[in-house]
Amino acid sequence: MKHGPGEVFLIGDLNVALNVKRSSSERIRVNRELLLQLLTKHGLTQNVESPTHEQGSLLDVVCCSEYTPVRVKDTGMSDHSLLTWYAVLKPNRSKRQT
C-alpha cells in the first residue's frame, strides 16, 4: 500500500473497545460510536480486525485513509498484542519557500 504526502495515520492504544456492541455498558457503546463517527468524518478506516488485548478487547488501532492489512500477534510480553503492517511512505518532494 502506497501512502502519499499528507496521509494521516492514527495509531495506538485508544482504550476504546471497538469490538463490543450490545452487551457492554452504555458508556462503552457511546465511546465506540463517537470514535467511529470521528474516524468517518476524517475519512479514516480502522484496519485492525481482531482483539488486541488479552481480555478480548480491540483497543489498539491502525487507522488511515485506505484499507491496510494489520497482523495481530501475541508476543507474551504485554497484555496488548503487537501490531504490524506494511506501508510505503512517499516523501513530500515539494520545495519549501523561504
pLDDT at 48: 96
> Which pLDDT belongs to residue 23?
58
- State the 10-residue block means of pLDDT for the chain, 98 residues long: 68 90 77 93 94 93 92 96 88 65
| Beta strands at 88-89 and 2-3: parallel, antiparallel or unpaired | parallel
Domains of the chain: 2-88 (3.60.10.10)
Cα–Cα distances in angstroms (integers) from residue 97 to residues 1, 6, 52, 93, in the given order? 30, 18, 44, 13
Q: CA 29 → CA 11, 17, 79, 80, 83, distances in Å?
A: 21, 8, 22, 21, 24
Write down the pLDDT at residue 79.
96
> What is the C-alpha separation between 49 and 44, in angstroms, rounded?
15
**List of residues 6+ apart from 19 with CB closer than 8 A:** 51, 56, 57, 58
